Chains A and B, each alone.
Chain A
């Protein structure tokens, strides 16, 4: 099974080093890459660092910090991983969000020396908002505190408090004392911490299973192709199953149609399941941005919804007109009301009903939109998340909390 893992945490707590260590110990690094790094280290007169496997920009090496997110693939003992490193600096939050948006599981890296810091909290806040609740905590740099159990326990309770404050069940979260630099409890278990008899990081990750709940069909229309012989509507099954003969309602177009047939190039099939890109033949005209679903549990078009957002532009004011994207839909929207301005580090409400928010703020916002299909994030995540666009740039992202505002 493939699992997408993101490593988050404050700058210099050792995320890149930990991933470099995982790759090295699992023999996922080609010998040539090791030689290449050694050559670089000599050229730049540096000490060998595991982080150099990930930080491949010249500036990253010179400044010794990660600037942009990077994804690498490796085999665990059971699962196959796409592991994503994200930068720990506040100025690179955009890159952190990009890296985290595909994650199934997160590993929070916290230095036992420094404990919880600003980006530890902010990353946790953002993970919770993105709905990534499958979480592990790696308490790193145990070598720097002589592998002390007391220091581990102190940091563990400090982190637990923060987790609880963000709505995580701290009792359910696995904490692992590790040293990325020395390789303790990452790929192989450590002999230096006999007081710890829990799992290594890779053992904990290898136990992850990803189960999808059964949900109603949602078929998102990408395009309509006029082929020589027929018209084919192409799109993706975001949830549920699509079958030939199904009666489907498309919104916001309001078209009700029977699926005459499914179309794939080079093969025949009467069914498409979640994640499949499929072509369908129907009577009636639908277009990009439409969402199809069953008559008994159909998608609904709304003109307003309530969402939680993290904002990365300069300023967002009540009354601003933006472009909003959800699935393949792209609509004009208005910021009709900003309910709460939230500190993305602490999760605290900074102001009720503010006039505006600025870069790195989170907020709960009521949007008025052109007719659009959205779902609550907790119901169908694929249609419960959106991106805000201004002048062609993506400047914010969020999740849908409520759709029936009765407006």
Chain B
């Protein structure tokens, strides 16, 4: 798909979500995908994002990610909501004690509490089908029950661009909205290259022969070997690479079906 078609579909999805839900919010990790989604939101809503932007703060993010977050939040006048599970952090939850437990407490549980507190009925997320086999199975509008579970065995009928909108009154359901599900990693970078105003965390650009291809928590994310120091060079690199995007993300590979287990519990 061309970039224009990709962008049009994403904007259509965002405007559908805003029209259909009472209290949506968008998740922002400060990474390239969710920053692209924020940019698409600015396009869809003519500059000012009309709903809160949630940052899940595990306490383990890179310093540069916090700096980037605070700078963009101010520049784009974001209504930033920080979701942080202080209780778990105080209890000493950390990756060393088990990655499934750590991701679940510091990401999923932090988000669950934030959604409950603010009463969000839709969460806009920047996942893409090509990132992971399990994400390829997602719908554009994907319901979650009150325990946050993804009932992947019984997903809604989703015909054309008519998405199922479930009422949030039944079992405190919220809906996950996926505006860039149809994009590939390469599309994201080509789009960032085209739209010169999308800010990029400098950690994605190579220095000393290494760069980050996917950003997560500091203890569980490692850089790849790369000399791509500019966005143009990243686009070139991705055209030829044989390495998977999330190869530097430890939680995906601890054991078989880890990602499915995480996602069934409400992980993004």
- Report A's interface with B, CB cutoff 8 A: 2, 30-33, 36, 39-40, 43-44, 53-54, 56-59, 67-73, 80, 82, 94-95, 97-98, 101-102, 222-223, 225, 227, 232, 234, 236, 263-266, 275-277, 279, 288, 312, 325-326, 328, 382, 385-387, 389, 392-397
Contact status of A56 and B156, CB under 8 A, knowing A32-B243, A223-B19, A266-B197: no
Which 5 A-B pairs rank lowest in CB-CB distance, beginning with the nearest? Answer: A56-B133, A32-B244, A394-B157, A277-B11, A58-B257
A-B CB contact pairs (8 Å), 21 listed: A31-B243, A32-B243, A56-B133, A56-B260, A70-B136, A71-B136, A71-B182, A72-B129, A94-B157, A223-B15, A223-B18, A223-B19, A234-B15, A236-B8, A275-B5, A276-B8, A277-B8, A325-B162, A382-B160, A394-B158, A394-B162
B226 beta carbon closer than 8 Å to chain A: no
A288 touches B156 (CB 8 A): no
A222 nearest in chain B by CB position: B15
B19 touches A39 (CB 8 A): no
* Sample of 15 further A-B pairs with CB below 8 A, known A222-B15, A277-B15: A57-B152, A58-B257, A58-B260, A68-B155, A82-B182, A94-B155, A97-B159, A98-B139, A98-B158, A101-B159, A234-B15, A275-B8, A326-B162, A387-B159, A392-B164
A385 cross-chain contacts in B, Cβ below 8 A: 159-160
B139 cross-chain contacts in A, Cβ below 8 A: 98
B160 touches A102 (CB 8 A): yes
Q: Which of B47, B133, B170 contacts A392 (CB 8 A)?
A: B170
Contact status of A222 and B244, CB under 8 A, knowing A57-B134, A275-B8, A394-B156: no
Q: Which of A70, A264, A265, A312 contacts B137 (CB 8 A)?
A: A70
A225 touches B158 (CB 8 A): no
Q: Is the interface of A mostly helix, strand, loop or mixed?
A: mixed
A392 touches B8 (CB 8 A): no
A392 touches B159 (CB 8 A): no
B91 beta carbon closer than 8 Å to chain A: no
The tally of CB-CB contacts under 8 A between chains A and B is 141
Per the bound structure, the CA–CA distance linking A53 and B134 in Å amounts to: 11
Contact status of A222 and B19, CB under 8 A, knowing A32-B243, A69-B137, A265-B46: yes
The total of chain B residues at the interface (CB under 8 A) is 51
Per the bound structure, the CA–CA distance linking A39 and B257 in Å amounts to: 11
B243 cross-chain contacts in A, Cβ below 8 A: 30-32
A95 touches B159 (CB 8 A): no
B166 cross-chain contacts in A, Cβ below 8 A: 392-393
B158 touches A222 (CB 8 A): no
B183 nearest in chain A by CB position: A73
B244 touches A395 (CB 8 A): no
Per the bound structure, the CA–CA distance linking A387 and B156 in Å amounts to: 12
A68 touches B152 (CB 8 A): yes
- Report B's interface with A, CB cutoff 8 A: 1-2, 4-5, 8, 11-12, 15-16, 18-19, 42-47, 129-130, 132-134, 136-137, 139, 152-153, 155-160, 162, 164-167, 170, 182, 184, 197, 241-244, 247, 253, 256-257, 260
Q: Which of B132, B157, B247 contacts A387 (CB 8 A)?
A: B157
B260 touches A265 (CB 8 A): no
B241 cross-chain contacts in A, Cβ below 8 A: 30
B152 cross-chain contacts in A, Cβ below 8 A: 57, 67-68
Q: Which of B42, B132, B153, B182 contacts A265 (CB 8 A)?
A: B42
Per the bound structure, the CA–CA distance linking A337 and B113 in Å amounts to: 48
A328 touches B159 (CB 8 A): no
A39 touches B256 (CB 8 A): yes
Shortest beta-carbon distance from A375 to chain B in Å: 14
Q: Which of A73, A95, A276, A387 contacts B162 (CB 8 A)?
A: A387
A265 touches B47 (CB 8 A): yes
B1 nearest in chain A by CB position: A2
A102 cross-chain contacts in B, Cβ below 8 A: 160
Shortest beta-carbon distance from A137 to chain B in Å: 25
B244 touches A40 (CB 8 A): no
A2 cross-chain contacts in B, Cβ below 8 A: 1-2, 5
Per the bound structure, the CA–CA distance linking A179 and B132 in Å amounts to: 27
